[in-house]
């Protein structure tokens, strides 16, 4: 089964495929937090205390905006992992193996095993 065939599922609405709702997912995927960032950058004073408070606020925002997005993306990508991996007719098998197995191993090696 190819990715295109797997995407079409009769009887499932667009709202059921989304994490929160199609509109909210679009805002999160498009970097909706930039609407918050621009006023902060333009109107707040640029001293060290404000910069550190803004940095902490954005770390907290990243937890609520980026983590659900990444969790949902990983769920979509790794769904039916073994079926995709062992299916000889899966058209994107090489890309799937590279993006889903090799790249995470290389990133793990770069960030955890190399002494920086």
2's CB contacts (< 8 A; 6+ apart) are 89, 90, 91, 92
- In this prediction the pTM is 0.45
pLDDT digit string (tens) for 56-102?
A: 888 887 788 778 878 888 888 888 888 888 888 878 888 888 988 89
Tell me the two tokens of residue 96: 């799937």
- Helices 48-78/22-29 angle, 10° precision: 120
pLDDT digit string (tens) for 2-16?
A: 444 445 555 566 556
Q: Residues 90, 2: contact at Cβ < 8 Å? A: yes
Q: How many CB atoms lie within 10 A of CB 90?
A: 19
Query: Does residue 35 surpass a pLDDT of 80?
Result: no
Q: How far apart are CA 9 and CA 24, in angstroms?
A: 22
The CA-based angle 63-66-72, given to 5 degrees, is 115
According to the model, what pLDDT value does residue 9 have?
Answer: 54
- Helices 34-43/48-78 angle, 10° precision: 170
Q: Residues 43, 51: contact at Cβ < 8 Å? A: no
């Amino acid at each position: 089964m190819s990715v295109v065939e797997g995407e079409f599922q009769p009887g499932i609405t667009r709202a059921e495929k989304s994490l929160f709702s199609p509109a909210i997912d679009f805002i999160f995927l498009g970097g909706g937090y930039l609407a918050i960032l621009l006023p902060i950058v333009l109107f707040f004073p640029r001293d060290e205390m404000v910069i550190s408070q803004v940095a902490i606020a954005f770390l907290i925002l990243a937890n609520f905006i980026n983590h659900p997005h990444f969790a949902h993306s990983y769920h979509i990508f790794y769904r039916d992992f073994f079926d995709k991996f062992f299916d000889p007719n899966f058209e994107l098998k090489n890309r799937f193996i590279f993006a889903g197995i090799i790249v995470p191993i290389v990133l793990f090696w770069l960030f955890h095993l190399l002494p920086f």
